[in-house]
Amino acid sequence: MLVSALLTSVGINLGLCLLFFTLYSILRKQPSNITVYAPRLVATQKSEPRGQFDLERLLPSAGWVKQAWRLTEEELLSLSGLDAVVFMRIFIFSLRVFSFAVIVGIGILLPINYLGTQLSDDSELVNKSLDSFSISNVNDGSNWLWIHFSAAYIFSGVVCYLLYYEYSYISDKIISHFYSCKPLPSDFTVLVHGISTSSGHTVSEDVESFFTEYYPSTYLSHSVVRRSSKLQSLIRDADKLYRKLARLKSNKDTPRRFKREGPLGLFGRQVDLADQYEKKLGDLEEGVRIQQSLLAGQEVPAAFVSFKSHFGAATVLHIQQRINPTEWVTEQAPEPQDIHWPFFSTSFLKRWICNLAVVAACIAITILFLIPVVIVQGLTNLDQLETWFPFLEGLLKITFISEVITGYLPSLILQLFLSLIPPVMMALSSVQGYIAFSQIQKSACIKVLWFTIWNIFFANVLSGSVLYRVSVFLDPKNIPTVLAEAVPGQASFFIAYVVTSGWTSVSSELFRFLTTVRYPRLSSSGFLV
């Protein structure tokens, strides 16, 4: 990749970044977007109604950036919670690592690489290859290579120290936050699933008999999970209808409350939508009552068991309750709004099969993702691209087109394909048998992490280094030498990728081009979807 191609990529990403910041500063002021850009205020009902139309809403402003950086950690903790503080600490850690890398990279390594003569390149600075600024340009056997060796170890040591410092800092914050918060019912509750019942006894009777016998001093109460998919469906429908009714009543435009009964609202007599919604809510309420009366005999072999102390709950949580480890399995009960109901009645064997299926699916996705990786690496090499597609030879000779294709397009394509991975991993994690949304998100994050490490780093390095040197495998002794020469050449691709993912990707998340607004759901503790 040429320096001009990298500058083109930097220019495009900088322009997109400024565009996203500008659009965000405008869209956040629009009253209709308050649920997107201020969902916490909507959830806590602290959003203030907007007045009449103001031209200032259509003009971009940068005041929000200054206000965001003025916030102290205490203010951020009180306004947005501990997660926001941890997120900001990640940015601070990244800035510290980046600052040290700039000092070492630009101040020490870059001049050493540029002064090397391993690669003969007498062209102008803009038309030079980026390899001239990498370790590839240092002469073979040069003592300057010890500078690179030392810099790698020093940089790794500094990053490890910064990680240790941030870990200690965030751990102290979490511990202090934990002690400052009031105990929650979920802290004293344990989820027990895989309950084996005796003949003639219900799940509730067996649970009470078991914990009364073995934990008489700490056992408090229990709540058996029941199968209630129809009930939860009715509750969700009622929730949606209630929100429609609330929005309709808050709307001052009276004609919108009336609609014709006929097809597409064009024919028939006019009816008041508010009255119609209230009538449907009444019918749903009656349906909920009927379903609640039918739940007595629909128990699931799982229960939430509460204890009188933290110690009692912790004891049950860490002790195997039965000789068979797949029965009476205990785990920490999630908070009510964090419960994922579908797998409460699932057997151990089904969960095990689902886990195997998910592992196989992840491996298949990882292998299939090599296709866009190879395409991306092909775009970074114009000579190979002309060989594959001879009809593009004339187009690729245009300077700007070649700079966009080699400098910006590969990282953009890879980023677009990579954006599809998190929702796919979330979907796979949701069928692994987890009983909490937080567990699903954690599992999906781990999958995305391993996927990124392999496909973004190793697959790109290996495909870009060995793709055009397949013959190297015929002589295994030369593999280390060939990789040592070829891997540094992938530095230019990763520079462009970091620019795209670090600038455009983060600013696009701020802009929230694709946003799904999740409203609080009505839940009925002890019921199963």
pLDDT tens digit at each of 529 positions of the chain? 667 777 777 888 888 888 888 888 888 777 777 777 776 666 666 555 555 556 677 777 777 777 777 888 888 888 778 888 888 898 899 899 989 998 998 888 888 888 877 776 666 666 677 777 778 778 877 888 888 889 989 999 999 999 999 999 999 988 988 888 888 888 899 999 888 888 778 888 899 999 999 999 999 999 888 776 676 777 777 777 777 777 776 665 555 566 655 555 555 566 667 777 777 777 777 777 766 666 555 778 889 999 999 899 999 999 988 888 888 889 888 888 888 888 887 788 888 899 999 999 999 998 888 787 777 766 666 555 656 666 666 666 666 666 676 667 777 777 788 888 889 999 999 988 888 899 999 999 999 988 888 877 777 766 655 555 555 556 667 667 766 666 666 777 777 777 777 777 777 777 776 653 333 333 333 333 3
Q: Is residue 491 part of a domain?
A: no
Q: Which two tokens stand for residue 243?
A: 């929100």
Q: Is residue 414 part of a domain?
A: no
Strands 527-528 and 219-227: parallel
Closest CA to 136 of 492, 489, 469: 489
Distance CA 172, CA 177 (A): 8
State the virtual CA torsion across 420, 425, 427, 430 in degrees, nearest 10: -160
CB-side exposure of 447: number of CA atoms within 13 Å? 28
Q: Is residue 219 part of a domain?
A: yes
Per-residue confidence (pLDDT) for residue 164, from 0 to 100: 95
At residue 50, φ and ψ (nearest 5 deg) are: -80, 155
Per-residue confidence (pLDDT) for residue 384, from 0 to 100: 59
- Helix, strand and coil content of the chain, in percent to the nearest 5, comes to 65, 5, 25
The total number of structural domains that make up the chain: 1
Q: Is residue 52 part of a domain?
A: no
Q: Is residue 265 part of a domain?
A: yes
Handedness of CA 171, 172, 173, 178 (dihedral sign): positive
Q: Is residue 128 part of a domain?
A: no
Q: Which residues contact 450 (CB under 8 A, 6 or more apart)?
A: none
Q: Which two tokens stand for residue 224?
A: 């058996």
Phi-psi region of 268 (alpha: psi -120 to 50; beta: other; left: phi over 0): left
**Domain boundaries, position 279:** 185-339
Q: pTM of the prediction?
A: 0.72
The answer to whether 303 and 225 are in contact (CB under 8 A) is yes
Closest CA to 303 of 3, 527, 38: 527
Q: Is residue 316 part of a domain?
A: yes
Distance CA 32, CA 49 (A): 11
Distance CA 251, CA 259 (A): 15
Q: Is residue 54 part of a domain?
A: no
